[in-house]
């Protein structure tokens, strides 16, 4: 490692996105993890708790309390914490002179949306206003990230759902009204916690919808579409729990815009291709080739589309790994941009989990 290493800290390394981030950082040429906190593993090495690259194998986990004394030792802190914790810690990190990337939902919506969708009042409204919400493929945030103090990393469902929809909306292929997102996620999206509902005996061989009509990612998808140039969308979003550990697949439905011809599928594909142009992490494939296997372990978004001219509906499907492009990978993508590094650094050579 060169002397130009950028020092980073991780708060909440024992969670699934925290550990995934540690693994990604363990093979990054420019970031060096100075400390990682988690009360659960305090005093233990990362390598003894999970398979991490050799470079971080012997890093000893610190307590959350110790971590708070070391914010000033690093240039950037990754918050892999629940929203309330992130909202509490972010100002302290900034006060210590470090920058922060928050992987939680703590800084993703307008303050007014928090009571309804997150169940609490946001008490850092000014900081929320200054946070840079960055889904790089949409927000063109490279420049803003260079100076951003607090970066808000998008949610997993919003990342998967918004990209194909925005491609089709921008191209006028679908109407803005009546959009449906039927999304399915693996269990790591629910975090690392022990509950009967998330136990193997209950989840294996099962499938179900959850938080129907009230999932907090609904307004976040709408916000991304607005940031991407299509405001005032009200869509329907349903989340389902898949009996797999990783991966999100979102099947989206939009009404085919008037005037579409028999080649509507071609036009829709062209819209996705245009959107994907120069985007290193987006792959456009046939709708039936959008699979979890194609994305798990990578920072990719794979998407495909089919139009049904008779029924005037466009079905666009997208998949991501919820822990990589849906969390830690996207956080690293943002961090690369924050420090002027290539966006794909240590992200485009990830090995997929496909057998």
Residues 13-32, interacting with a copy of itself (CB under 8 A): 16, 19-20, 23-24, 26-27
- Round to whole Å and give the CA distance between 156 and 150: 19
Q: Which is nearer to a copy of itself, 148 or 203 (CB)?
A: 203
How is residue 334 written in tokens? 């943002």
CB of 206 to a copy of itself, least distance (A): 5
| Contact between 5 and a copy of itself per CB under 8 A | no
- Round to whole Å and give the CA distance between 271 and 257: 13
Q: Which residues are catalytic?
A: 156
* Site residues (CB under 8 A) for a copy of itself, limited to 133-162: none
Three-state secondary-structure class, residue 212 = coil
Burial class (CB in 10 A: 0-12, 13-18, 19+), 89: buried
| Contact between 297 and a copy of itself per CB under 8 A | yes
Q: What are phi and psi of 300, to 5 degrees?
A: -85, 155
| Contact between 194 and a copy of itself per CB under 8 A | yes
Number of residues near a copy of itself (by CB under 8 A):
90
Contact window for a copy of itself (CB under 8 A) among 88-96, 104-112, 152-160, 292-300? 292-300
- Round to whole Å and give the CA distance between 218 and 228: 16
Q: Which is nearer to a copy of itself, 146 or 214 (CB)?
A: 214
- Round to whole Å and give the CA distance between 133 and 220: 11
Q: Which run of H or E residues covers position 209?
A: strand 208-210
Contact window for a copy of itself (CB under 8 A) among 84-92, 113-121, 127-135, 309-317? 309-317
| Cβ count near 125 (within 10 Å) | 12
| Contact between 285 and a copy of itself per CB under 8 A | yes
* Site residues (CB under 8 A) for a copy of itself, limited to 39-58: 48, 50-55
* Position among 211, 226, 231, 273 found at the interface with a copy of itself (CB under 8 A): 211
Q: Specify the DSSP class assigned to residue 222.
A: H
């Amino acid at each position: 490692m060169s002397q130009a290493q950028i020092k980073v800290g991780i708060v909440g390394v024992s969670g699934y996105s925290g550990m995934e981030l540690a693994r990604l950082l363990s093979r990054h040429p420019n970031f060096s993890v100075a400390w990682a906190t988690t009360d659960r593993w305090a005093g233990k090495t990362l390598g003894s708790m999970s398979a991490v690259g050799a470079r971080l194998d012997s890093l000893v986990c610190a307590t959350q309390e110790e971590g708070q004394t070391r914010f000033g030792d690093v240039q950037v802190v990754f918050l892999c914490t629940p929203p309330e914790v992130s909202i509490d810690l972010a100002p302290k990190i900034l006060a210590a002179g470090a920058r922060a990337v928050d992987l939680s939902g703590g800084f993703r919506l307008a303050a007014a949306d928090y009571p309804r969708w997150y169940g609490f009042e946001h008490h850092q409204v000014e900081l929320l206003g200054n946070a840079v919400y960055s889904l790089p493929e949409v927000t063109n945030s490279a420049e803003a990230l260079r100076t951003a103090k607090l970066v808000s990393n998008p949610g997993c469902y919003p990342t998967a759902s918004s990209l194909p929809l925005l491609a089709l909306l921008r191209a006028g292929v679908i109407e803005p009204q009546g959009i449906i997102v039927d999304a399915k996620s693996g269990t790591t999206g629910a975090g690392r916690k022990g509950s009967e509902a998330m136990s193997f005996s209950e989840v294996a061989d099962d499938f179900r919808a959850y938080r129907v009509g009230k999932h907090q990612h609904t307004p976040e998808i709408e916000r991304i579409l607005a940031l991407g140039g299509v405001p005032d969308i009200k869509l329907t979003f349903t989340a389902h729990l898949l009996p797999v550990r990783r991966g999100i697949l979102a099947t989206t439905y939009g009404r085919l815009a008037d005037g579409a011809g028999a080649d509507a599928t071609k036009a829709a594909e062209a819209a996705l291709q245009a959107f994907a142009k120069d985007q290193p992490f987006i792959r456009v494939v046939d709708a039936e080739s959008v699979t979890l296997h194609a994305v798990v372990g990578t920072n990719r978004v794979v998407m495909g589309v089919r139009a049904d001219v008779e029924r005037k509906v466009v079905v666009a499907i997208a998949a991501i790994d919820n822990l990589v492009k849906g969390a830690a990978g996207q956080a690293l993508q943002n961090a690369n941009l924050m420090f002027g590094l290539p966006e794909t650094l240590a992200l485009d050579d990830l090995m997929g989990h496909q057998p």
